[in-house]
Structures are given as structure tokens and as C-alpha cells.
Structure 1
């Protein structure tokens, strides 16, 4: 993997923190491109953080199968 997703996750979390604590614009490098987020785009940034977090932690969006109950 060419890009360190853990570093991207840290950068995205820092950007969200900046926006939540009064910053007007936060910049994140995403796929080689710098993306600017504002308070209006917090939901999009949160989804990006969740996606990175799942990649870093090796989890997917799939749920485990329900167990058989007797």
C-alpha cells in the first residue's frame, strides 16, 4: 500500500477536531488530492473517518451471521 491509512486517519480526525472547536476550514489529503472540509461537510468527513477506521482495523461493514437459537 503506497499511502499509510493510519496517518490519513490521524489527519482526518485532527481536521474534524479543528472544525468542531471553531475552525472554519480544515484540509485533508485524500487520494493524493487536498480536500477542504467546512462545518457543513462534517457528516462527509465523519463517513470518511469511519471508512478509514474500518480499513485500518481490518473490519468490514458486513454483519456476522445470526446464531441458531434453540
Structure 2
């Protein structure tokens, strides 16, 4: 809560990466530094704490992969 302490760099932000064609459900939280792969779906209310690979459905707190998405050509 102390402004001086916060300005000393104790907290910092890292960028997140969201791939192409990603769907995020409502109220999803993505923590700093996390990447979400292309074509993945993140379920509503999930808290993404670690990288999520391409072409998967992931849900929960912490968010985990529950199934792969098979791409049809």
C-alpha cells in the first residue's frame, strides 16, 4: 500500500501473448508473462497462470488443458 515502496520496483508488469483465433470466455484472468497459443479456447472464469499451447481447450483455476482441438481441413 505504500507509494514509495511500490515505486522502488517491487512490482512490475510483463507482457502477455495471445495467439491468433483465440477465444477467451468471460472473466478470464491472464497473469503477466503468459502466452496463449493459436486457435485455443479458454473457458469462462479461468485463471491462466502458465503458457497454454496451440489448438487446445483449457479451463479452471489454475487453468489446465482438458482437450485438444483437431483442425479440419
TM over 0.5: no
After TM superposition, the score normalised by the length of structure 2 is 0.21
As a proportion of its length, which structure holds more helix? 1
After TM superposition, the score normalised by the length of structure 1 is 0.22
Higher relative contact order (Cα pairs below 8 Å, separated by 6+ residues): 1
As a proportion of its length, which structure holds more strand? 2
